[in-house]
């Protein structure tokens, strides 16, 4: 407890943020210097790395996510196994930055979501007690459950940190992330905490990645540089079918995930259109267009009262030139940048966010956005492993 109080009183901390997203690429680890908390938060990224999952690990996680393939033994063991992987990622990023573990104040770990039923329940694994035990560092983890317990969707959580870091007095900014899922945070000009808008726009790269994996028999797992999409053409019937999925047109706040756009659904769609003679290239092109179109659709319908000055794109999708080109076409009325073009690292964003959220939890700050997650009230997220 003395240690927690010391931590609470410390104005400048070294914090490791750990994140693994629905895309199952691997564990993102960011080592961040965080000064102050709340609106006074200042950060400096010291180091970042993604520790990729092996294909075997990815298979195990996919199994754990699947209603038909998962079981309690797998989940019990994988929780501890991933805890060890998260712990190793924390140790490695510290080493890479030449900072001894005992100088690091805090770990904030998101864990790996294996199931998520908005406003009902959510399940992240990657046991934080293992991280604490391996590193000796006080760990805050399991952020989503408290928001769901308070009636929220448990997502998105990153917008609160974007609000702390990126709010601007002169511009209205849309921060569009394209990871496994697509999600946007709108920071209106001179916004305060209750003005922030954020929601999931639809799939990010998830459906594209699955199609590439099937097409290449597991040799590749994403459309590098959008090359496959660029070889295909749009299939309007498929696009119309996808755009008619209710969540795409649902009013924000809304969240979606693997349960909607995961392997089960994607394979069904691929099989259906392959049987109609549609090429893999056309399917990838159409999935890519779907990702972009679902973003644009939501901007046009639900953000039309705002003048968006800038769209800043982050996540794996920002490295896909076809996605960026399509986005510029669809959002012709505003400026579209990648996060890199704005001078920020795109890949580190979520890991940094969980370092900041851990700092907020330890500081006793309410760190969900009820208007964004749908929670009945603001709460302190996370569990502290002392």
Q: Are 155 and 255 in contact (CB under 8 A)?
A: yes
Angle between helix 280-302 and helix 236-243 axes, rounded to 10 deg: 40
Q: Which of 44, 55, 117, 341 binds a copy of itself (CB under 8 A)?
A: 117
Residues near 241 by beta carbon (within 8 Å), at least 6 away in sequence: 269
Per CB under 8 A, contacts with a copy of itself among 367-386 are 379-380, 382-386
101 binds a copy of itself (CB under 8 A): no
**Residue span 181-210 as binding mask against a copy of itself, x where in contact by CB under 8 A, dash where not:** ------------------------------
Going by their DSSP bridges, the two strands 26-35 and 121-125 should be labelled as unpaired
Q: Is 105 annotated as a binding residue?
A: no
Question: Shortest approach of a copy of itself to residue 232 CB, angstroms?
Answer: 34
Instruction: Identify which of residues 61 and 269 has a Cβ nearer to a copy of itself in the complex.
Output: 61
Q: Are 57 and 128 in contact (CB under 8 A)?
A: no
Going by their DSSP bridges, the two strands 383-385 and 335-338 should be labelled as unpaired
CA angle 196-30-207, nearest 5°? Answer: 65
11 binds a copy of itself (CB under 8 A): no
Question: Shortest approach of a copy of itself to residue 148 CB, angstroms?
Answer: 7
| Separation CA 156–CA 364 (nearest Å) | 20
221 binds a copy of itself (CB under 8 A): no
83 binds a copy of itself (CB under 8 A): yes
Residues near 125 by beta carbon (within 8 Å), at least 6 away in sequence: 64, 75, 78, 79, 82, 83, 111, 112, 114
146 binds a copy of itself (CB under 8 A): yes
77 binds a copy of itself (CB under 8 A): yes
107 binds a copy of itself (CB under 8 A): no
326 binds a copy of itself (CB under 8 A): no
Q: Which of 68, 98, 169, 244 binds a copy of itself (CB under 8 A)?
A: 68
Q: Which of 361, 367, 368, 373 binds a copy of itself (CB under 8 A)?
A: 361
HEC secondary structure over 240-280: HHHHCCHHHHCCCCCCCCHHHHCHHHHHHHHHHHHHCCCCH
Size, binding site for a copy of itself by CB under 8 A: 54
Per CB under 8 A, contacts with a copy of itself among 147-176 are 148-150
Q: Tokens 């090359």 label which residue?
A: 227
240 binds a copy of itself (CB under 8 A): no
| Separation CA 207–CA 284 (nearest Å) | 8
72 binds a copy of itself (CB under 8 A): yes
121 binds a copy of itself (CB under 8 A): yes
Q: Is 25 annotated as a binding residue?
A: yes
SS3 375: coil
90 binds a copy of itself (CB under 8 A): no
Q: Is 139 annotated as a binding residue?
A: no
CA distances from 55 to 52, 58, 218 (A): 9, 5, 9
54's tokens: 């092996």
Burial class (CB in 10 A: 0-12, 13-18, 19+), 67: exposed
Instruction: Identify which of residues 48 and 115 has a Cβ nearer to a copy of itself in the complex.
Output: 115
18's tokens: 């750990």
Question: Shortest approach of a copy of itself to residue 5 CB, angstroms?
Answer: 6
Q: Are 155 and 118 in contact (CB under 8 A)?
A: yes
Instruction: Identify which of residues 47 and 382 has a Cβ nearer to a copy of itself in the complex.
Output: 382
100 binds a copy of itself (CB under 8 A): no
8 binds a copy of itself (CB under 8 A): yes
In the complex, the residues that contact a copy of itself under the rule CB under 8 A are 1-5, 8, 64-68, 70-73, 75-77, 79-81, 83, 114-117, 120-123, 127-130, 132-134, 142, 145-146, 148-150, 361-364, 379-380, 382-386
Residue ranges of the annotated binding site for ATP are: 21-28
Residue ranges of the annotated binding site are: 21-28
């Amino acid at each position: 407890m003395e240690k927690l109080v010391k931590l609470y009183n410390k104005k400048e901390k070294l914090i490791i943020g750990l994140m693994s997203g629905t895309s199952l690429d691997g564990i993102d680890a960011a080592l961040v210097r965080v000064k102050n908390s709340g609106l006074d938060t200042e950060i400096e990224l010291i180091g970042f790395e993604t520790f990729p999952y092996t294909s075997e690990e990815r298979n195990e996680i996919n199994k754990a996510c699947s209603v038909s393939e998962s079981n309690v033994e797998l989940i019990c063991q994988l929780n501890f196994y991933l805890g060890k992987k998260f712990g190793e990622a924390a140790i490695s990023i510290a080493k890479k930055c030449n900072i001894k573990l005992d100088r690091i104040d805090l770990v904030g770990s998101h864990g790996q979501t294996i199931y998520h039923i908005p406003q009902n329940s959510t399940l992240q694994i990657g046991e934080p007690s293992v991280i604490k035990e391996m590193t000796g560092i006080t760990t805050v983890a399991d952020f989503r459950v408290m928001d769901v317990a308070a009636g929220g969707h448990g997502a998105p959580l990153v917008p609160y940190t974007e609000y702390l870091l990126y709010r601007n007095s002169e511009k209205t900014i849309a921060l569009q992330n394209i990871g496994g899922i697509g999600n946007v945070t709108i920071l209106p000009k001179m916004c305060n905490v209750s003005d922030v808008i954020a929601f999931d726009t639809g799939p990010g790269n998830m459906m594209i990645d699955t199609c590439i994996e099937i097409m290449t028999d597991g040799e590749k797992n994403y459309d590098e540089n959008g090359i496959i999409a660029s070889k295909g053409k749009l299939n309007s019937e498929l696009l119309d079918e996808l755009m008619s999925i209710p969540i795409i047109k649902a009013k924000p706040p809304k969240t979606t995930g693997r349960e909607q756009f995961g392997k089960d659904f994607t394979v069904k769609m691929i099989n259906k259109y392959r049987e109609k003679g549609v090429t893999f290239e056309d399917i990838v092109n159409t999935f890519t267009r779907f990702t972009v179109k679902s973003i644009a659709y939501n901007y046009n319908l639900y953000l039309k009262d705002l003048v968006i000055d800038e769209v800043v794109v982050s996540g794996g999708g920002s490295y896909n030139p076809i996605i960026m080109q399509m986005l510029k076409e669809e959002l012709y009325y505003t400026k579209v940048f990648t996060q890199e073009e704005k001078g920020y690292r795109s890949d580190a964003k979520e890991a940094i966010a969980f370092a900041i959220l851990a700092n907020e939890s330890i500081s006793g700050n309410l760190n969900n956005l009820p208007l964004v997650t749908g929670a009945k009230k603001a709460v302190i997220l996370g569990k502290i492993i002392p």
